């Protein structure tokens, strides 16, 4: 006798939607994914391609990151796409940034597996800075290659059906009204990022979610190998991991006030410098800025692009030139992710901190297990 497989419909074929599709298929669901575009075009393919460990606060988020990174290490060889396990290097550009990195290492370095590098060690390794925090855990991806490959692999090996160019127009009871007709499912997962506001406007309005717009660039450099993902002490003002002790909070507040006075354009544009080299030694991905509003910003700041290039050139001690730039957009809220269950058959899952690549695989496994 043939057993009935419960049918799961997922809205959105970005990182989070595909992660839930994988988790559900491995737990025996019949999975259909509905994507309004011909491919994933949102935050999943507009980011740095970074599986981050260092930035998450201890507790749930750090554990999700660790579990996700472990799952990526199992999955990536099967996918056959480019990736690198080169960790990250957070460089202190001045004494204030060095103080924050040293404080973090003293308080939390053993928990995060980081090492503090001195100015002399940096110089010997070819880097410039007061000091640096080295983390071995981060994984780099080429997101624009990874997401399509993960989609194809799920369809080929996990019997997941992904329906591109099939917009979901509404949800009523356990029925999806799509551009190609009605679909009934045992359970529905909304993993469409901030776009779920068009399907469930009142739920979205009550969620506290806003949009964060980013400015990203691809830059040309003289060919060189940059193995780790590069960050700076500006990351200490952005990541929750660096607000876990009273002393770290005090140092961050002092540095924020100094930036506001001496370099006001950096906090004005929410600049958080990350440099990621993919598989081309003459190109790097650089970002980003942060602009929060109810809708995505229409115009991008030319001044912010210039500042990012100048910071990057200073960090690398080498000239850079722009190849192309683009806007990233993701949902943002006080908590790093949001899961809502407006109906017994309907669950919405949204990353609200731009960390879907870092924690999505483990979060999806938890969500599917709870259905």
Strand, helix or coil for residue 178 = strand
Long-range contacts of 177-182 (CB under 8 A, 24+ apart): 178/34, 179/36
Give the tokens for residue 300: 């991008």
Q: Within a 13 Å sphere around the CA of 85, how many CA atoms are in the beta-carbon half?
A: 9
Instruction: Classify domain 88-136+210-332 by CATH architecture.
Output: 2-Layer Sandwich (3.30)
Domain locations in the chain?
7-46+145-208+335-370, 88-136+210-332
Q: Which residues of the chain have pLDDT under 70?
A: 1-3
pLDDT at 174: 94
pLDDT at 299: 87
Angle at the Cα of 10 (from 9 to 16), degrees rounded to 5? 155
Please report the sign of the dihedral spanned by the C-alpha atoms of residue 126, residue 127, residue 132, residue 138: negative
Instruction: Tell me how far apart the alpha carbons of residues 10 and 33 are, in angstroms, rounded to a whole number.
Output: 5
pLDDT in tens, 177-192: 999 999 999 999 999 9
pLDDT at 1: 43
Asked whether the beta carbons of 324 and 300 are under 8 A apart, the reply is no
pLDDT at 3: 64
Q: What are phi and psi of 14, to 5 degrees?
A: -85, -165
pLDDT at 4: 77
pLDDT at 67: 98
Residue identified by tokens 């990233």 is 328
CATH 3.50.50.60 is held by the domain 7-46+145-208+335-370: yes
pLDDT in tens, 320-345: 999 999 999 889 999 999 999 999 99
Angle at the Cα of 276 (from 128 to 109), degrees rounded to 5? 65
């Amino acid at each position: 006798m043939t057993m009935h497989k419960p049918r799961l419909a997922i809205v959105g074929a970005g990182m989070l939607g595909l992660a839930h599709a994988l988790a559900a298929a491995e737990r025996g669901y019949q999975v259909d994914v509905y994507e309004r575009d011909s491919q994933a075009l949102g935050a999943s393919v507009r980011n740095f391609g970074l599986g981050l460990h260092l930035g998450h606060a201890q507790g749930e988020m750090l554990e999700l990151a660790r579990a996700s990174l472990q799952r990526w290490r199992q999955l990536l060889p099967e996918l056959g796409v480019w990736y690198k396990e080169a960790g990250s290097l957070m460089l202190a550009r001045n004494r204030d940034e060095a103080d924050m990195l040293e404080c973090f290492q003293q308080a939390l370095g053993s928990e995060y597996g980081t090492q503090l590098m001195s100015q002399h060690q940096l110089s010997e390794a070819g880097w410039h800075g007061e000091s640096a925090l080295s983390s071995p855990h981060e994984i780099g991806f080429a997101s624009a290659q990874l997401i399509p490959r993960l989609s194809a692999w799920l369809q080929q090996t996990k019997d997941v059906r992904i329906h591109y160019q099939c917009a979901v127009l509404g949800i009523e009871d356990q029925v999806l009204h799509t551009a190609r007709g009605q679909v009934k499912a045992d359970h529905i997962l909304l993993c469409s990022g901030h776009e779920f506001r068009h399907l469930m406007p009142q739920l979205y309005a009550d969620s506290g979610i806003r949009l964060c717009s980013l400015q990203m660039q691809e830059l040309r450099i003289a060919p060189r190998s940059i193995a780790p993902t590069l960050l700076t002490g500006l990351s200490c003002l952005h990541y929750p991991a660096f607000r876990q002790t009273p002393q770290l909070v005090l140092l961050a507040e002092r540095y924020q006030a100094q930036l506001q006075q001496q370099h006001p354009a950096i906090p004005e544009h929410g600049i958080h410098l990350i440099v990621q080299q993919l598989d081309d030694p003459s190109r790097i991905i650089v970002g980003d800025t942060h602009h929060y509003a109810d809708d995505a910003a229409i115009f991008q700041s030319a001044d912010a692009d210039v500042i990012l290039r100048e910071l990057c050139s200073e960090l690398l001690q080498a000239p850079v030139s722009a190849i192309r730039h683009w806007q990233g957009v993701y949902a943002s809220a006080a908590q790093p992710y949001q899961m809502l269950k407006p109906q017994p058959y309907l669950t919405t899952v949204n990353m609200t901190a731009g960390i879907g690549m870092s924690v999505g695989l483990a979060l999806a496994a938890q969500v599917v297990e709870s259905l």
